[in-house]
Amino acid sequence: MAMKHIVNTRRSLFWILRWLLWLLIIVCLAILTCLWFMHDLWLTVNPTDKVGGLALSEATTPLHAANLTMESKDRRGDGVLYVVRSGHKNYRFQVSSILRTWGQDIRASPSDGLIVVGDVAVQNPAVLGVLECGKDHSLGLCCKTGYALQFAHHWVDDFAWFFVVDDDTFVNIRNLRQVLSTFSFLEAQALGVLGCGPGFCEDGLGGFCGGGGYALSRAALKRIMANSTSSFQVDLMSHLATERDGMAYDDISVACLLKRHRVRLQPLHGLYAFGSPKQWLDDAYERAITSQSPLPITFHYVGPILMEALHNRFERLSAEGDVAAPESEKRVESSNQSSPPAEAAKFSDFTATFAVLSRLPGTCDKAIVRYVSHPPGGGSSISFG
Ligand SMILES: *[C@@H]1O[C@H](CO)[C@@H](O)[C@H](O)[C@H]1NC(C)=O
Ligand SMILES: *[C@@H]1O[C@H](CO)[C@@H](O)[C@H](O)[C@H]1NC(C)=O
Ligand SMILES: *[C@@H]1O[C@H](CO)[C@@H](O)[C@H](O)[C@H]1NC(C)=O
């Protein structure tokens, strides 16, 4: 009898202890989450005058005084200006990881450049600041993208192409240069992953899935800014691609604007716009990285650690390639862009599905859902998203 009693008491003691432990863990987690949000809020209300050791400045960067964030020694006029949109909370990790990885490739390239356009301006390396747009991923991002294109237009004659990307995107600038060399920058055209947001734009075909980046030719950028940069901004902001709930898509709005001004939109393969659930180099990444057709150009949803890993992997690959077979590159150049192998397609199908399931934060999410649930007939773009 007494024995049973003791066992029972022990059991209930265990039970209570276990629950107490759980409670403790939950309370700790709650406190940590709370602190994290408070820190974010504090940063939002009170941007420090230094982010990642960089001095911040208050005003919007004046166009005429703007400097490139990163540039090659020469500016021969045939390179790519990369246009990254960001916000000060991402400067420390995302932006600095770009500057350490593919930003360095730009510095070493023959004729490319990079501008980072955020909310708060930074000097050296220059981050261009646009305070008036706000920080949201809807109207704010559309407005910021407009300003970013206005900044880009400031250097319109110094570059052949203008490639718009997010701050969580890895770019292989060598592959992009190679693929762009098969298109003319003197034609008013824009290249990217097409098909997001069906129903939007005057033709109802939607626009870019911008997470993988999109390229405007010099002629295209000149055409949309033909009247003035400020009337371009008004044009963009007064014709936004907006859902009924008010969500506005920057990438689709820009694509619609391009089409309104008769800029031709074309698919560009090798842009992995929908990312991967993995933040490390798994087999799917490995297959995409080593694919010869399409050549991998961008990967979206890449955190700082994966950014370094991708950069290192590509460096090793090109070191091996330079030793092994200089011919293979030539073969790629003439290979047909419109027939990527099944493997690359599989990778992106998988990641596209994941993006839909998990609703990764990003401006294109809803558009992806719309896209996947109404795939346009014969559309080719999602396979290489
Ligand atoms: C651009 O660079 C010049 C010279 O390096 C500097 O004097 C100027 O303040 C910079 N402008 C901005 C907006 O950072
Ligand atoms: C420039 O202005 C004219 C006349 O208002 C208009 O028809 C045209 O669409 C504008 N072009 C651009 C690129 O905004
Ligand atoms: C690529 O394929 C398209 C259609 O399948 C064809 O029109 C084009 O000529 C091809 N280009 C090359 C370089 O083979």
Higher pLDDT, 43 or 70: 70
213 and 96 housed in the same domain: yes
Burial of 183 (0-12, 13-18, 19+ CB in 10 A): middle
Cα→Cα distances 51→46, 48, 89, 214, 320, Å: 12, 7, 8, 28, 38
Contact 362, 251 (CB under 8 A): no
Instruction: Say how far apart CA 285 and CA 115 lie, in whole Å.
Output: 27
162 and 104 housed in the same domain: yes
41 and 55 housed in the same domain: no
- For residues 327-348, give the mean pLDDT: 44
> What percentage of the chain reaches a pLDDT higher than 70?
77
> What's 78's domain CATH number?
3.90.550.50
- For residues 358-371, give the mean pLDDT: 37
Q: Which residues span the domain enclosing 7?
A: 1-46
Instruction: Say how far apart CA 278 and CA 90 lie, in whole Å.
Output: 20
Atom number in ligand 3 closest to CA 337: 1
31 and 137 housed in the same domain: no
Residue 76, pLDDT score: 82
Instruction: Say how far apart CA 65 and CA 379 lie, in whole Å.
Output: 43
Q: Which two tokens stand for residue 24?
A: 């403790």
Residue nearest atom 2 of ligand 1, based on CA coordinates: 67
Whole-structure pTM over 0.85, yes or no?
A: no
Instruction: Say how far apart CA 161 and CA 150 lie, in whole Å.
Output: 14
Which of the four pLDDT bands, split at 50, 70 and 90, describes residue 137?
confident
Which of the four pLDDT bands, split at 50, 70 and 90, describes residue 383?
very low
Contact 225, 210 (CB under 8 A): no
Atom number in ligand 3 closest to CA 334: 13
CB-ligand 1 contact for 57 (6 Å cutoff): no
235 and 362 housed in the same domain: yes
pLDDT tens string 46-71: 555 554 444 555 567 777 778 899 99
Residue nearest atom 6 of ligand 2, based on CA coordinates: 227
97 and 35 housed in the same domain: no
* DSSP symbol at 364: T
Residue 243 has pLDDT above 70, yes or no: yes
Q: What is the largest CA-CA distance in the chain?
A: 95
29 and 155 housed in the same domain: no
Mean of the per-residue pLDDT values for the chain? 81
39 and 164 housed in the same domain: no
Site to probe by mutation for ligand 2, drawn from 202, 223, 227 as the one with most ligand atoms within 8 Å of Cβ, is 227
Number of domains making up the chain: 2
21 and 87 housed in the same domain: no
Cα(150) to centroid of ligand 1, in Å?
A: 18
